């Protein structure tokens, strides 16, 4: 059947029912028990708004798909936006004007954007942890340390930091105009855990116009290390730049023989090498690790305070993940 216009006085129902059975009752969107509500619709299937040629043919992508009408197919159906959400006038905003997922059915969000513009009117950012859950790959979802994809992302709060919660995928520039605030966070947000690899990048201690970058391990000291293999020799060569980097009194050496048993030991520690000896004298076959603490002020491992700003020592040579970096303004 093909008609020009259809007027539905109450509810439009597009609900599949197997042939020979009584029609499946439509569900009104407002969940009222006393029947349908005028101006409502129930689709037990999928809805495509816009031109179908912008989606791959015969490829199920979503139950609701939105795109622009094709100018070739419907030249009069033109508008600047694909989706437009507006509140009542005058507006009475609530925390649940737009809801994406909830505790019963949390969702993942993927965004591939060329631009995001956020215009705020006294934006208030509030992060509430969800109850303990076994949904998905994580045990907990929310702001706690065992969180969703990362404990990060959400709305951007410029009260000194970017607030994140759940997973975020973004590509392209982002601009924010207007004031932002968060009711319980001020200054930088310190998550207490590293986001990715932690590294130090410093001027080279012995070469002018060079820099030195190492990725750090975690431990109660400012440690650096080298590792390698000796096969027929007995000297572990130390990096030349260690002369201006480490405290030689803190060197420790781990040796693992391979191919044969050997009673290996450290015979001597020199400025540029470590001499190893054992049952086979200078014919040493082993893997090695050499650890040393960087020279300078010793690390204060535990201290009283509420944030890294209260560190009692010299913090100028430290970069704290989630406090000095990985917080983007």
CB 136 within 8 A of CB 149: no
Q: pLDDT tens across 178-229, in order?
A: 544 444 433 444 444 445 577 778 899 999 999 999 886 678 988 899 999 9
Task: List the structure tokens of 260.
Answer: 């044969």
Of 290, 288, 266, nearest to 278 by C-alpha is: 266
Q: Which CATH number fits domain 199-293: 2.60.40, 1.20.144, 3.50.50, 3.20.20?
A: 2.60.40
Residues 110, 170 contacting (CB under 8 angstroms)? no
The Cα–Cα gap between 238 and 269 comes to 10
Q: Which are the contacts of 309, defined by CB distance < 8 A and separation ≥ 6?
A: 315
**309-327 tens-digit pLDDT:** 899 998 888 877 777 766 5
> When comparing pLDDT for 83 and 197, which is higher?
83
- pLDDT greater than 90 at residue 20: no
Per-residue pLDDT tens over the stretch 87-99: 888 888 888 888 9
Question: Which of these, 164, 169, 106, 109, lies nearest to 138 by C-alpha position?
Answer: 106
Question: What are the residue ranges spanned by the domains of the chain?
Answer: 107-189, 199-293
**Position 21 pLDDT exceeds 50:** yes
Q: 278 pLDDT exceeds 80?
A: yes
Exposed / middle / buried, residue 40 (Cβ in 10 Å: 0-12, 13-18, 19+) = middle
What's the confidence (pLDDT) of residue 196?
A: 59
CA distance 157 to 180: 6
Report the pLDDT value the prediction gives residue 219, as an integer from 0 to 100: 84
Rounded to 5 degrees, what angle do the CA atoms 14, 18, 22 make?
Answer: 80
Question: What pLDDT sits at residue 175?
Answer: 52
Query: What is the rounded average pLDDT for all residues in the chain?
Result: 77
CA 51/CA 56 separation, integer angstroms: 11
Could you tell me whether strands 174-177 and 265-269 are parallel, antiparallel, or unpaired per DSSP bridges?
Answer: unpaired
> Are 127 and 163 in contact, with CB atoms under 8 Å apart?
yes
How far, in Å, CA of 89 to CA of 96, rounded? 17
Going by pLDDT thresholds of 50, 70 and 90, the confidence category of residue 169 is: very low
Specify the pairing of strand 273-277 against strand 265-269. antiparallel
What pLDDT is stored for residue 287 in this prediction? 97
User: Please, which pLDDT band fits residue 126 given cuts at 50, 70 and 90?
Assistant: low
Determine the pLDDT at residue 15: 81
Tokens in use for 131? 């109850």
**Contact status, residue 153 vs residue 164, Cβ threshold 8 Å:** yes
- pLDDT at residue number 171: 45
């Amino acid at each position: 059947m093909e008609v020009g216009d259809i007027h539905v006085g109450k509810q439009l129902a597009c609900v599949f029912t197997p042939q020979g059975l009584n029609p499946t009752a439509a569900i009104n969107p407002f969940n009222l028990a006393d029947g349908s509500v005028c101006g409502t619709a129930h689709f037990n299937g999928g809805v495509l708004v816009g031109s179908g040629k912008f989606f791959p043919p015969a490829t199920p992508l979503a139950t609701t798909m939105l795109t622009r009408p094709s100018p070739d197919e419907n030249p009069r159906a033109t508008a600047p936006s694909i989706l437009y959400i507006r509140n009542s006038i005058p507006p009475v905003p609530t925390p649940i004007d737009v809801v994406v997922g909830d505790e019963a059915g949390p969702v993942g969000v993927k965004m591939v954007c060329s631009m995001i513009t956020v215009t705020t009117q006294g934006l208030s950012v509030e992060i509430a942890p969800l109850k303990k859950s076994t949904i998905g790959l994580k045990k907990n979802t929310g702001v706690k340390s065992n969180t969703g994809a990362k404990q990060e992302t959400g709305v951007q709060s410029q009260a000194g930091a970017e607030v994140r919660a759940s997973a975020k995928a973004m590509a392209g520039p982002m601009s924010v105009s207007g004031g932002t605030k968060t009711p319980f966070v001020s200054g930088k947000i310190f998550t207490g855990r590293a986001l990715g690899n932690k590294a130090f990048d410093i001027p080279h201690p012995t070469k002018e116009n060079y820099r030195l970058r190492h990725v750090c391990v975690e431990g109660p000291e400012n440690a650096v290390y080298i590792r390698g293999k000796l096969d027929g020799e007995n000297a572990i060569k130390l990096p030349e730049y260690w002369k201006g980097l480490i405290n030689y009194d803190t060197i420790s050496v781990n040796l693992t023989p391979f191919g044969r048993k050997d009673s290996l030991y450290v015979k001597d520690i020199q400025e540029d090498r470590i001499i190893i000896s054992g049952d086979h004298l200078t014919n040493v076959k082993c893997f090695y690790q050499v650890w040393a603490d960087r020279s300078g002020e010793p690390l204060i491992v535990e201290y009283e305070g509420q944030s890294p700003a209260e560190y009692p020592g010299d913090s100028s040579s430290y970069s704290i993940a989630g406090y000095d970096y990985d917080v983007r303004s």
